[in-house]
Amino acid sequence: YEKSEEKAKAAEIEQVSPEPLAVTALKILVAEDNIANQKVAMAILKKLGFSADVVNNGIEAIESLRNKSYDLVLMDMWMLEMDGIEATKIIRSPYPGILNPTIPIVAMTASATIEDRQKCFDAGMNDFISKPVYPDELLSVIRKQMKIYGSEVGIKAAEAIAELRCKLVETFDRQDFLKRLCGDEKILKSFVLYLPESLSKQIENLKMALDKKDVKEIGFCAHTIKGLSANASAKRLCNIASMIESAGKAGKIDIAASMMEKLEHEYMELKSVLSDMFPENNTKESGIFHLPGYTF
């Protein structure tokens, strides 16, 4: 029976294993305005064998593409200062000084509607990947865009991909999140240390937006909470934030406001679970995000 299980697992790895990639000279730029999402994206890329730089918005992405040659851009759709759609249009224009205006640009967003996909392609993006980002999906997109082969990265990716899938836990699926980080406990604990304060700030921003009846800000804050919680494998919080986002974008502010109590309750549940699961974090100063191996 054990041998049968081993054969089945080997077959699964073989089935999803990507072709190895030649990545020694590959340079990736990540444009993402949420620090927690930045950390996860960079951690996944590092685990898959890639090196990357990160910027906070479309303006910084354009400036980076003027000053340094890159092979691929992972571009968040919704960012403050300048979003990914506008930045891509400027890059494709081409904007004076852009070293490679035809560089492959892959959109990243928690919204995965047909309309959003069409906006990406209309702006000149080459591909689309939904958040939360999984290593196997990201590797597939990079491989598709770069069409390059030939190192041990494929083997490392296959080992990680074989451990990715697990049953979703409603409040916080630790195993799902850990496996998306390729088993790196240090990164997970660093993220967990940062997550509650990050969510708390966004919830306060959402409350203020609701008080002001600012439809655009309601949608943006709820979208940010949705992305953070999805990235952390906090499904229930993600679902509530998604409903608030939809209500806000539809102008149904009363409905959005009526769900705030539920959102805050689920946030407290998540905070409690994280506190129980990582008691060592309770003695540390909140809001400090240390990620071993990275300097920003």
Is the predicted pLDDT of residue 210 greater than 60, yes or no? yes
Is the predicted pLDDT of residue 241 greater than 90, yes or no? yes
pLDDT, mean of residues 287-294: 34
Counting residues of the chain whose pLDDT is more than 70, the rounded percentage is 77
Contacts of 247 (CB under 8 A, 6+ apart): 253, 255, 256, 259
Which stretch of 32-36, 121-125, 171-175 has the lowest confidence by average pLDDT?
171-175
- Candidates 31, 30, 38, 33; CA nearest to 220 is 33
Q: Which residue has the higher pLDDT, 24 or 81?
A: 81
Q: Which residue has the higher pLDDT, 151 or 235?
A: 235
pLDDT, mean of residues 148-163: 45
Best-predicted range by mean pLDDT (5-14, 186-195, 243-252): 243-252
Q: Which two tokens stand for residue 153?
A: 């990265």
Counting residues of the chain whose pLDDT is more than 90, the rounded percentage is 38
Q: What is the pLDDT of residues 46-73, one digit of tens each?
A: 877 788 999 999 999 999 999 999 989 9
- How far apart, in Å, do the first and last CA atoms of the chain sit? 49
Is the predicted pLDDT of residue 267 greater than 70, yes or no? yes
